[in-house]
A = this chain, B = another copy of it.
Amino acid sequence: MKLFDGGRAPNPRRVRVFLAEKGIEVPLVPVDMGAMEHRGAAVSSRNPLQRLPVLELDDGTILTESVAICRYFEELHPEPALFGQGALGKAVVEMWQRRMELNFMTSVASAFRHIHPAMKEWEVPQIPEWGEANKPKAIEFLRFLDGELAAREFIAGDAYSIADITGLIAVDFMKPARIHVPEDCANVLRWYKAVSSRPSAAA
């Protein structure tokens, strides 16, 4: 198999961090998203939506969507469990993975894509007003998360999960989006320090 990878972009990194936590090595095919190579033939023929990452299995089967690729590896290599264990545990991780993605990462990404000059070709039409409207949404979510993290170590409970990976990626994405974690969100800052210190964060 091979993984078409997109370097610094958030979703490709999400899969690399996940694989590092699992201790799985997959051959990477680098794709230069800065040079728009994800809109070239190699990616488009495999994923007409022209997004990365893309996993190609040995029989040619294509999997796209970072979380779907992660789930494939979770099923093949269940330990350590990064999608939770048991009916309730799996549902709680899914709930938090979605909250981190839909309420937080999406807001950060929208701020970046609709405001940053480098995104003009990517997000058409770029609507700066919509980008700005997303900044307070991201901050509001972090304040909610800060209260939640007062009572536990990781996003979805006492164990590290894919919800932490999405959170790590989203907080790192705040930098180019020019949004800052409020200084009084001590629990978020403690959690971020812990997850960004894990070896997987360098993936």
A87 interfacial contact with B, CB 8 Å: yes
Contact call B133/A129, Cβ cutoff below 8 A: no
**Majority SS of interface residues in chain A?**
helix
A127 interfacial contact with B, CB 8 Å: yes
Contact call A94/B75, Cβ cutoff below 8 A: no
A18 to B99, CA, bound (A): 20
A37 interfacial contact with B, CB 8 Å: no
A64 to B88, CA, bound (A): 12
Residues of A within 8 A of B (CB): 48-49, 57, 61, 63-65, 67-69, 71-72, 75-76, 86-88, 90-92, 94-95, 98-99, 103, 125, 127, 129-130, 133, 144, 147
Given contacts A49-B99, A69-B91, A75-B91, 17 further A-B contacts (CB under 8 A): A63-B88, A63-B92, A64-B95, A65-B98, A65-B99, A67-B94, A68-B91, A68-B92, A68-B95, A71-B90, A71-B91, A71-B94, A72-B87, A72-B90, A75-B86, A75-B87, A75-B90
